[in-house]
Amino acid sequence: MPPKGIRHRFAMKNKNMNEMNAEITTINQKNTTPDDDSFQHSVQKSTKSRKRVQKSGGTSTSKENRPKRQKPFADRKIELTITSSTSEDEDLDFGEDGLYPVKEGQLLKKRYKISKLLGVGGYATVHMAMNQKTKDNVALKIVRCGEWYNEVSDREIQIMKTIKNSSCEKLDSDSPIGANNVVSLLDNFRIKGEYGMHVVMVTEMLGPDLFSILVKSNQKVLSFDRIQRFSRDILNGLHFLHSNCGVMHLDLKPENIMVTIDPDSMDLNDPNCLASVKIGDFGLTCYTTEDVTRTVQSCCYRSPEAFLKAHITPAADIWSFGCTLYEMATRELLFKCNDSENCSRVFHMDNLSNLLGPIKRSLFKKEKENEWPLEQVFSEKKVLTGHPESTNFICPEELRKRTLMDEHQAQACSDFMGELMKIDPKKRLTAEQALKHPFFMEHC
């Protein structure tokens, strides 16, 4: 557990998190590489502070709020612009258990020259830096000092090294499918600050996270084809993590999915635009052989078994992907939380039941760790039943109201999400099975 008071500081810091205060306008710029103008957010973000288009409780969506169809690609040329409101003057915590004060142009490990600050969170700062040996831009995640932070960071590094080793097991062959859809650890070291040692993780430099694309960019509405492509990348990454690495991510969400885009063609709705995604941030990742008893997954993407402290398997990641897929399609949260730090289990499980139907208590084995959560949610009931008048937001009709999908696309997407978000984790699709779902066969 973090030191006393840290969890509250996490919530408050993340609520007011700084992000890079810039606009990305890298299309067709000469004498630059794709990395020069990209940015990466790999710090924690609070779901509570995220501003979204809210779902209406009714069964209709106004025409004003519906996404508009784009003009033909030949008639338009679109840059990718991401804006964010940042207070650069906000005081940062550099005290005990605090952040490391980094200056622009500073050289770390006699190798990494700091270019600029990319993001600040309760856990770390992220900076763009130039590798003086390779001349490549990289991202440096510099963690707070303190014993607890060092232990958590060492754990994340261990996981990322496991992933890296799984990518390179066969030196005489190509990387396994999905290895290129996971953020790579390039280096790690420690630096000494005024109050102690800080862990530094060096990763490849990528583009914006998926959350920034969906909420803060000028290309919020993704085409069905782009949703399919990003979904395939995410599932390939999950399949690699689950099957090749033996790990569960356990914090999959748009903020932890990084987007790489060809700077010469940045219109995401153009089928010729080369863009892909990678899964990052392994701070909550666990091995599949572990008996996970701590709270995992961000609230809005948390699976039923995680809320009930039941047995955690790779199926928990599939649930989070289902929530992320809905968000890619609608730019709305499928499940809202009433408290970003400690969402009421009763509130959240009621929401799940309203959308997905009755939840049987017998699906979750009673053990010492989950005796209270089960009692809290079910009490004396054997089945948790939802309200019959509740709106099914993943049905084809609702998807068509909130997206540009046609009838067949909405049906395929609805069927797919239903298979991804089965209440019983044993009945959910695996990542490998999901990649073969008819959803990917539906042409746009």
3-state secondary structure 90-124: CCCCCCCCCCCCCCCCCEECCCEEEEEEEEECCCE
> Residue 90 corresponds to which tokens in the numbers above?
């906000």
Q: Which of 19, 202, 199 is nearest to 114 (CA)?
A: 202
d(CA 293, CA 423): 19
Using DSSP's 3-state secondary structure scheme, residue 338 falls into coil
Confidence of residue 41 (pLDDT cuts 50, 70, 90): very low
d(CA 185, CA 139): 10
d(CA 421, CA 424): 8
Q: What is the pLDDT of residue 347?
A: 85
CB 355 within 8 A of CB 392: yes
d(CA 255, CA 248): 17
Q: What is the pLDDT of residue 165?
A: 93
**Average of per-residue pLDDT values in the chain:** 81
In this predicted structure, the answer to whether residue 279 has a pLDDT above a threshold of 80 is yes
The mean per-residue pLDDT over the stretch 363-389 comes to 81
Q: What is the pLDDT of residue 442?
A: 67
Please report, for residues 4, 69, 118, 129, the alpha-carbon distance to residue 35 in angstroms, rounded to integers and kept in the order given. 39, 31, 13, 11
pTM here is 0.82
Q: Domains, the chain, ranges and CATH?
A: 58-78+206-440 (1.10.510.10)
In this predicted structure, the answer to whether residue 87 has a pLDDT above a threshold of 50 is no
Please report, for residues 217, 226, 247, 261, 272, the alpha-carbon distance to residue 79 in angstroms, rounded to integers and kept in the order given. 10, 16, 37, 11, 14
The mean per-residue pLDDT over the stretch 369-377 comes to 81
Q: Within a 10 A sphere around the Cβ of 232, how many other Cβ atoms?
A: 17
Binding residues: 141
Q: How does pLDDT run across 306-325, given as a tens digit for each residue?
A: 999 899 999 999 999 999 99
Tell me which of 408 and 219 has the higher pLDDT: 408
Using DSSP's 3-state secondary structure scheme, residue 137 falls into strand
In this predicted structure, the answer to whether residue 11 has a pLDDT above a threshold of 70 is no
> Residue 62 corresponds to which tokens in the numbers above?
């106004």
Q: What is the pLDDT of residue 342?
A: 52
Name the least confident of 7-16, 74-83, 273-282, 388-397. 7-16
Binding residues for ATP: 141
